[in-house]
Amino acid sequence: MDKNIVKIAVVGPESTGKSTMATYLAEHYHTIWVPEYAREYCENLNREYTWQDELNMFYGQLELEEKLIPRANKLLICDTTFITIKIWSDHLFGRSPQEVLDELADHPYDLYLLLDIDMPWQDDPLRDFPDLREHFMAIWHRELQALNADYKVVSGLGAERHANAVGAIDQWLQSAAEK
């Protein structure tokens, strides 16, 4: 992995605009973004999630990121991270795969943008918990704090949300350059 690439993770509960934001940021910064592997994986799943599915999504997300990082232009924008696998596994199965836990500390991102739940819910066949957004937002805070992650909450709608994300990244980049 190229140590000169800044990795920005766009994370948060369901229906907070992560994919839209990742696409926007990649275009804004003239780089590429890593899509959420689980979305494509689950679109082809015609049954309930299993433990093995969580592991498959974990390995798939890691592989996709490693494959795309050489094409990044200084920044790599990641539409979620495998922390999502931990959160979903904990929720659905009461525990996380050891493989995921082992990788958390060894696979950091430079900055996490935690997208706020201030957007209206949008139905999608792959979204499951419209009534648990506050619950999952609290979990995201807890998980990022447990990693001692550098993260910013991004709120607002439309262009304001985009501007707030760009502002958070630009501020982080300026601060990193001054170190």
Can you give the residue ranges of every domain in the chain?
A: 6-178
16-75 pLDDT, tens digit per residue, is 999 999 999 999 999 999 998 887 877 777 767 788 888 988 999 999 999 999 999 999
Element (H or E) spanning 111, and its range?
A: strand 111-115
What integer is the mean pLDDT of 155-175? 97
H-helix segments, the chain: 18-28, 37-43, 51-68, 83-93, 98-104, 133-146, 158-178
Calculate what percentage of the chain has a pLDDT beyond 70: 93
* Token reading at 79: 């539409």
Residue 1: pLDDT band with limits 50, 70, 90: very low
Query: What's the pTM value of the predicted model, to 2 decimals?
Result: 0.92
CA 98 – CA 42 distance, rounded (Å): 22
Per-residue confidence (pLDDT) for residue 2, from 0 to 100: 52
**What is the SS3 assignment for 132?**
helix
In our burial notation (b when 16+ CB lie closer than 10 A, e otherwise), range 96-130 reads bbeebeebbeebebbbbbbbbbebeeeeeeeeeee
Q: What is the mean pLDDT of the chain?
A: 90
Res. 14: pLDDT tops 50: yes
Q: Using CB atoms within 10 Å of the CB of residue 17, give its burial: 0 to 12 exposed, 13 to 18 middle, 19+ buried.
A: buried
CA 134 – CA 65 distance, rounded (Å): 28
Residue 155: pLDDT band with limits 50, 70, 90: very high
Nearest CA to 51 out of 104, 108, 99, 15 is that of 99
Per-residue confidence (pLDDT) for residue 72, from 0 to 100: 97
CA 51 – CA 44 distance, rounded (Å): 16
Asked if 111 and 6 count as a contact pair (C-beta separation under 8 A), the reply is yes
Please provide the CATH number assigned to the domain covering 6-178. 3.40.50.300
Per-residue confidence (pLDDT) for residue 130, from 0 to 100: 64
79-107 pLDDT, tens digit per residue, is 989 898 999 899 989 999 999 999 988 88
Per-residue confidence (pLDDT) for residue 45, from 0 to 100: 74
Chain CA centroid to CA 85, Å = 10
What integer is the mean pLDDT of 127-148? 87
